[in-house]
């Protein structure tokens, strides 16, 4: 066989496309020698002829039947599926083309004997012995049955199996082809030149064909791509998308190369310990994070002024929120504050109209007017906390609130002390009478209020409140609020007011049983009990909530505590002045 014929053969073996060929048959016994043999071997294909081209192919791995040790080891293979059959059709088709073309090898019929070694060294040894045995039984050098002129051995195994094949084939001086097509020129089916360089690399163009087998066993071929040599050492690989659409006729979906489906947007992949990297769990993104693509390795946090949407696949702007006049909560607080301003103004008007009556003069009417004025300002100060915060309102709201409330509590404390001193002054020989008068009451109010003014001045000078955009307290909102500047100073100012309230409550509680029909000690005791209850409840509530509700809690505490003082101290007196004027006399005031 000349060099040209060899090259022609190699071209057909390696490059021609797949086509079924039904003439091949299984090897059958032709020798009278009776040894145990396999009557059906899926790993072998044989066709008789003048010269044999043998092949050891590594097509697929094998699954062996268990050995029962009752007979020689079986070469039987438990093999499911027949897709490997199409992988050797190019070889069978090449032999057929050569044998049917009288110009290639005239008067010579090529035969083949193909074995699949299933990537197994034991089966490789069995196949080699079979190739070297001219009889059906695997006995080398024994001539019986079919005669075989083994011309060449083709193999494409891995290095360890290839060495095993080469060692045995060399004993019989059988030429062996193993990936050494170098510096050769071959021809394809159309007799077009196919060139390989000295390294066995392709230096010409190729068409990529696909053999399609339909459910009715009909076969057709479709060219769906090409491999074109570029000027450099690279190739241009192209796919015909229209041709690939024919694959849909097979109605077989492509298998997934992963254990799970893709993670949707809004989730990220989390690898499973001890499993392949393509196996993972889909975990929903954490709060404040998104994933905008499928199979995201990790989630991305939104900017501070944005938050994830419901699906967590993109960020949306946060809404700026505060205690506004338009909201339901703001409307409720404003209505309550307005109502209490009206009631306080009404009470103040009654006291001014009945200024000279005994019940108004009792317990120092100047203190009553200071207290009513302080309560009126307290109700009005709540409006500093409602509406869109500004730097000016942030700077002044806490200072105004603490100063006004301190003045109100100081006036109540002065009233309580006045009641105690007035009772003590009635005892014979008691010198307390000289302490009675406006000077003492005014001094108490002024001194107590001055301390709060000093605290507030230090607060504003050291770390004043400021306007803040809180982007982190709420996930979907930016809270526009007034930051206290110094939490320590804020609670210090509240603590001082609490100290005055407890002092007032203690004195009033001790003086509650003093004689007199209009002794205010009982009223003051109850009003201070309401006041202290409100502000003791305020602290845990203020610390446990965020956003505009913190402001609402403080406004509510201001309104309720001020309303407690107004109702407990002044409503009983207004009742007598307006509805029971006969009780508004000096004689009634002297009744024990």
| pLDDT at position 246 | 59
- Last residue of a domain, which of 180, 202, 235? 180
CATH of the domain at 145: 3.40.50.2300
Q: Are residues 282 and 135 in the same domain?
A: no
Q: Which residue has the higher pLDDT, 476 or 153?
A: 476
pLDDT interval class at 403 (50, 70, 90): very high
| Whether the predicted pLDDT of 4 surpasses 50 | no
548 close to 328: Cβ distance less than 8 angstroms:
no
Question: Average of pLDDT values for 231-259?
Answer: 63
Q: Is residue 22 part of a domain?
A: no
Among 193, 176, 192, 175, smallest CA distance to 184 is for 193
Tokens for 104? 């290639």
Phi, psi of 591 (to 5 degrees): -70, 130
Q: Are 195 and 203 in contact (CB under 8 A)?
A: yes
148 falls in which pLDDT band (50, 70, 90)? low
Q: What is the pLDDT of residue 21?
A: 34
Q: Which domain holds residue 419?
A: 328-583
The model's confidence at residue 82, banded by pLDDT at 50, 70 and 90, is very low
Q: Check pLDDT > 90 for residue 315.
A: yes
Q: How high is the pLDDT of residue 250?
A: 52
Q: What is the mean pLDDT of residues 59-79?
A: 51
Q: What residues are paired with 177 via a beta bridge?
A: 154
Q: Has residue 568 been placed in a domain? A: yes
DSSP label at residue 433: G
The confidence band for 26, taking pLDDT boundaries of 50, 70 and 90, is very low
Task: Say yes or no to pLDDT of 374 above 80.
Answer: yes
Q: Which burial class, exposed, middle or buried, applies to 90 when counting CB atoms under 10 A from its CB (0-12, 13-18, 19+)?
A: middle
Among 85-89, 92-96, 385-389, 443-447, which stretch is predicted with the lowest mean pLDDT?
Answer: 85-89
User: If you count DSSP H runs as helices and E runs as strands, how many of each does the chain have, helices first?
Assistant: 15, 19
Could you tell me if 166 and 52 lie in one domain? Answer: yes
| Res 453 pLDDT > 90 | yes
d(CA 23, CA 111): 12
Give me the pLDDT at residue 592, please.
44
- Greater confidence (134 vs 8) lies with 134
Report the pLDDT averaged over residues 291-318. 90
Q: Which residues pair with 54 in a beta bridge?
A: 113, 153
**With bands split at pLDDT 50, 70 and 90, how would you rate the model's confidence at 249?**
low
Residue 344, pLDDT above cutoff 50? yes
In-domain check, residue 15: no
Average pLDDT score over residue span 480-493: 91
> Residue 303 falls within a domain, yes or no?
yes
- pLDDT of residue 563 exceeding 80, the answer is yes
Q: Which two tokens stand for residue 262?
A: 């893709």
What percent of the chain is predicted at pLDDT more than 70?
A: 69
Give the per-residue pLDDT at 432: 60
Q: What is the DSSP string of 321-352?
A: E---SSSHHHHHHHHHHHHHHHHHHHHHHHHH
Residue 32's pLDDT band (cuts 50, 70, 90): very low
Which whole-number Å values give the CA distances from 496 to 157, 188, 384, 405, 406, in the listed order?
93, 103, 22, 11, 8
Name the least confident of 166-170, 183-187, 286-290, 430-434: 183-187
Q: Which alpha helices (DSSP H) does 362-390 contain, by range?
A: 365-381
Q: Is 291 exposed, middle or buried (0-12, 13-18, 19+ CB in 10 A)?
A: buried
pLDDT of residue 348: 93
Per-residue pLDDT averaged across 155-168, rounded?
Answer: 71
Same domain as 439, residue 302: no
Report pLDDT for 410. Answer: 93
- DSSP 8-state code for residue 277: T
> When comparing pLDDT for 115 and 256, which is higher?
115
Please tell me whether residues 165 and 271 are part of one structural domain: no
* Most confident among 50-54, 96-100, 358-362, 484-488 (mean pLDDT): 484-488
Cβ contact 106:115 at 8 Å: no
Is residue 14 a part of any domain in this protein?
no
- Ranges of H-type helices in 16-88: 84-87
CATH number of the domain that 465 lies in? 1.20.1070.10
In whole angstroms, give the CA distance from residue 381 to residue 310. Answer: 40
Please check whether residues 235 and 297 belong to one and the same domain: no
The verdict on 392 and 507 lying in the same domain is yes
Residue of 557, 563, 558, 568 whose CA lies nearest to 508:
568
530: in domain? yes
- Is 237 within a domain? yes
Q: What is the mean pLDDT of the chain?
A: 76
Q: Are residues 279 and 155 in the same domain?
A: no
Q: What is the pLDDT of residue 33?
A: 35
If asked whether residues 435 and 338 sit together in one domain, one would say yes
Is residue 533 located within the same domain as residue 573? Answer: yes
Q: Which residue has the higher pLDDT, 547 or 438?
A: 547
Residues 474 and 572 in one domain: yes
Residue 5 inside a domain? The answer is no
pLDDT, tens only, 326-336: 989 999 999 99
What is the pLDDT, as a whole number, of residue 114? 78
Domain count, the chain: 4
- For the cut 90, the answer to whether the pLDDT of residue 60 exceeds it is no
Domain boundary among 180, 209, 224: 180
The least confident of 17-21, 418-422, 466-470, 559-563 is: 17-21
Is 147 in the same domain as 282? no
Same domain, 238 and 208: yes
């Amino acid at each position: 066989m000349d060099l040209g014929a060899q090259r022609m053969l190699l071209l057909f073996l390696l490059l021609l496309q797949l086509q079924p060929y039904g003439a091949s048959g299984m090897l059958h016994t032709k020798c009278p020698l009776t040894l145990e043999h396999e009557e059906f071997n899926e790993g072998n294909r044989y066709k008789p002829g003048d010269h044999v081209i043998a092949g050891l192919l590594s097509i697929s791995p094998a699954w062996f039947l268990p050995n029962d040790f009752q007979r020689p080891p079986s070469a039987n293979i438990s093999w499911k599926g027949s897709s490997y059959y199409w992988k050797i059709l190019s070889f069978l088709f090449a032999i057929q083309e050569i044998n049917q073309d009288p110009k290639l090898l005239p008067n010579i019929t090529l035969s083949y004997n193909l074995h699949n070694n299933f990537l197994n060294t034991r089966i490789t040894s069995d196949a080699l012995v079979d190739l070297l045995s001219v009889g059906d039984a695997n006995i080398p050098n024994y001539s019986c049955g079919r005669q075989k002129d083994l011309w060449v051995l083709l193999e494409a195994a891995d290095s360890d199996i290839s060495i095993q094949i080469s060692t045995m084939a060399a004993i019989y001086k059988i030429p062996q082809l193993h990936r050494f097509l170098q510096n050769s020129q071959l021809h394809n089916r159309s007799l077009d030149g196919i060139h390989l360089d000295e390294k066995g690399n392709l230096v010409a163009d190729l068409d990529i064909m696909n053999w399609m087998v339909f459910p009715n066993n009909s076969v057709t071929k479709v060219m769906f791509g090409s491999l074109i040599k570029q000027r450099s050492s690279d190739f241009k690989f192209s796919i015909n998308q229209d041709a690939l659409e024919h694959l849909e006729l097979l109605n077989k979906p492509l298998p997934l190369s992963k254990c799970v489906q893709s993670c949707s947007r809004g989730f990220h992949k989390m690898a499973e310990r001890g499993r392949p990297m393509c196996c993972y769990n889909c975990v929903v993104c954490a709060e404040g994070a998104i994933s905008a693509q499928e199979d995201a390795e990790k989630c991305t946090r939104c900017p501070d002024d944005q938050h994830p949407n419901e699906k967590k696949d993109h960020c949306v702007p946060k809404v700026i929120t505060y205690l506004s006049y338009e909201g339901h909560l703001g409307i409720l607080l404003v209505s309550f504050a307005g109502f209490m301003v009206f009631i306080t103004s009404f009470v103040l008007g009654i006291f001014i109209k009945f200024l000279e009556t005994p019940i108004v003069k009792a317990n120092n009417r100047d203190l009553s007017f200071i207290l009513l004025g302080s309560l009126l300002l307290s109700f009005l100060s709540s409006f500093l906390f409602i509406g869109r915060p500004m730097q000016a309102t942030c700077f002044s709201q806490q200072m105004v609130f603490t100063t006004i409330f301190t003045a109100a509590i100081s006036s109540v404390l002065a009233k309580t002390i006045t009641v105690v001193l007035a009772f003590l002054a009635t005892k014979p020989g008691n010198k307390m009478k000289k302490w009675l008068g406006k000077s003492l009451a005014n001094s108490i109010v002024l001194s107590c209020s001055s301390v709060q003014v000093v605290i507030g001045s230090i607060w504003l000078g050291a770390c004043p409140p400021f306007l803040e955009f809180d982007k982190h307290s709420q996930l979907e909102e930016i809270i526009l609020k007034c930051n206290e500047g110094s939490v320590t100073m804020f609670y210090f100012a509240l603590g001082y007011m609490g100290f005055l309230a407890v002092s007032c409550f203690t004195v009033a509680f001790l003086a509650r049983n003093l004689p007199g029909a209009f002794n205010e000690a009982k009223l003051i005791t109850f009003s201070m009990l309401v006041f202290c209850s409100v502000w003791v409840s305020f602290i845990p509530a203020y610390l446990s909530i965020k956003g505009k509700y913190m402001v609402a809690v403080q406004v509510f505490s201001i309104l309720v505590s001020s309303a407690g003082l107004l109702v407990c101290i002044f409503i009983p007196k207004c009742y007598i002045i307006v509805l029971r004027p006969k009780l508004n006399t000096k004689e009634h005031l002297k009744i024990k």
